[in-house]
Structure 1
Amino acid sequence: MISIVVPAHNESSVIARTLSQWLGNPGGGNPASDEIVVVVVCNGCTDDTANVARRFSPAVLVAETDIAGKTHALNFGDRISGAFPRIYADADIVITVDGIRALAKRLERGDVLVVAPTADINLTGCSWLVRKYYEIRSRLPSSREGIGGSGVYALSEAGRGRFGQFPDIIADDAYVRLQFRPEERETLPSVRSTVFPPRTVLQLIAVRSRVYSGAFELGRRFPELSVNKGESNNWALFALIKEPHLWSGLLVYCGVNIIARCKATLRSGSRTHPWERDETSRAAVSVDPAK
């Protein structure tokens, strides 16, 4: 049995799109219900997320908590979900049921403990600046890292045993990735998830600022995990300077990250961090994950 934990905070506009890939449409039968159990943890929701998810019952277990927070929701879901492999998926991404099966099958070999799909970035409705940013990002090593970039990762039982509860941190996915040496984790090029980025550059800066804040926090609280970092983007960025047609994109990419890093640095002394949740990407864009 494959278990999937989905933390969801006010995701009523997109949660059905995610669940329908695994379980079919509500009322139309759930072809994978005998092999997949989904736990949707509605945390601090003030919308209809829980009711939308319940339409997929009995294959979906819906848990509700008044505490808004992704790591709290992940721990809540862990207490309910008993099966392995265990997949953690954001509520606003798209991955097919065949993709879920492929992640589980890869873990069966036992030589890696955590796997993820490769992210496909859906730029529908995104501004020119956002498109330029992702044009550069697609050429960097970080774009090939699915554990933290694809919105989905899968852990074997041995992999989940590598750490206890999810700590109350910003970058839960980076925390999980850094629990494992590079040879213990894998991003599968043949398995894809669709990720919906911010549509405006201001929202992109806000999201990137949170990414930097999460990295700073991990460095302060868990410095020992830095030994498991992967390949840096720096040399790849320098190499792109040789291609004049990419200069406009490089200016956007570097500008966004410089501003975001400065914002995160200014906040680094604070004990509280605004969530910086992007709402522009949460309109229910239709997508064919088979393409």
Structure 2
Amino acid sequence: MISIIVPAHNESSVIARTLSQWVRDPPLDEIRVVVVCNGCTDHTANVARRFGPTVHVVESDIARKTHALNLGDQISSVFPRIYADADIVITVDAVRALARRLGQGDVLVVAPTADINLTGCSWLVRKYYGIRSRLPSSREGIGGSGVYALSEAGRLRFGQFPDVTADDTYVRLQFRPEERDTLSCARSTVFAPRTVLQLIAVRTRAYRGTFELARRFPELRVNKGEVNDRTLIALFKEPHLWPGLLIYCCVNIVARCRAIARRGADRWQRDETSRAALSADTPQ
């Protein structure tokens, strides 16, 4: 059996789009889903409950993702265990591929490759992701795809999820590069921010998460893996990429400066522009 934990904070507009990929009628005996509604003030729990007994819904007053992940772990008892954001899409076949890869036993954590959905995005956002797609980080699914899967041995690598911004990066850094894998045969759909201002907000959060982990868990940096710097510099040899490179660098410079300036400051406001559900995905 495969366990999927979905932390969800006010995700009523998209949770059905996510769950509909895994829940069938009759239900699949191989998959059990735990949706942890953390600090929700909308109808996320009600939407999730409409999917029937395959989906176990838990509600918490604490609006914190890592708290939701820990609650999900308390309820789930089977492996492999998949952790998926509520606003992404991954098919049941891709979920099975992750489970099969862990079953081979030579890696402890796996993730799908992210397909970035740019529908409705501005020209600036599209240029940014055009450059990103050429960088090594775009091929790292653990932290880029909104999904990661752990074997039982992998989950024993660390205790409870600490209260950090970047839980996926924290998990990735628990493992050496040879202990983790990103599958090209398994894909997840990640919905990009529509505007460059929202993109900067998302990148600011990413930098804040990176800075936080470096400060609190410096010993994990040894597992960082390949970085973007060399590839990014090489891209400047291609003049037709300069507009995109300018946008990419400006977005990240601004985001990095904001992350430094606001370290420990107010809570990040997530991107809402990409949370557009398809009404047909909602169960009747």
The TM tier, using the shorter chain, reads over 0.9
**1:164 alignment partner, one of 134, 159, 166:** 159
Which residues in structure 2 correspond to 1:105-144 (within 5 Å)? 105-144=100-139
Match of 1:23 in 2: 23
Distance across 2 between alignment mates of 1:286 and 1:110: 40
The runs of 5 or more residues in structure 2 that have no matched partner are none
How much identity, in percent, do the aligned residues show? 79
Relative to structure 1, the CA distance from residue 141 to residue 258 in structure 2 (aligned partners, 3 Å threshold; closer, same or farther) is same
Which residues in structure 2 correspond to 1:51-130 (within 5 Å)? 51-130=46-125
CA drift of 1:199 comes to: 0.5
CA drift of 1:284 comes to: 1.4
Deviations 1:150-180 (A, max 9, x none): 0000000000000000000101000000000
Q: Quick one: which amino acid aligns to residue 275 of structure 1?
A: W
Deviations 1:213-254 (A, max 9, x none): 000000000000000001110000011101111100000000
Match of 2:7 in 1: 7
Tell me the TM-score normalized by structure 1.
0.95
Q: Quick one: which amino acid aligns to residue 127 of structure 2?
A: K
Distance across 2 between alignment mates of 1:286 and 1:249: 34
SS in structure 2 opposite 1:146? coil
Q: Is the 8 A contact 2:27 2:54 kept in 1?
A: no
The runs of 5 or more residues in structure 1 that have no matched partner are none
Aligned-CA RMSD value: 1.3
**1:211 alignment partner, one of 201, 206, 210:** 206
Q: Is the 8 A contact 2:7 2:68 kept in 1?
A: yes
SS in structure 2 opposite 1:281? coil
Distance across 1 between alignment mates of 2:218 and 2:157: 17
Match of 1:276 in 2: 269
Relative to structure 1, the CA distance from residue 128 to residue 285 in structure 2 (aligned partners, 3 Å threshold; closer, same or farther) is farther
Tell me the TM-score normalized by structure 2.
0.97
Distance across 2 between alignment mates of 1:100 and 1:210: 27
Relative to structure 1, the CA distance from residue 135 to residue 285 in structure 2 (aligned partners, 3 Å threshold; closer, same or farther) is farther
CA drift of 1:94 comes to: 0.4
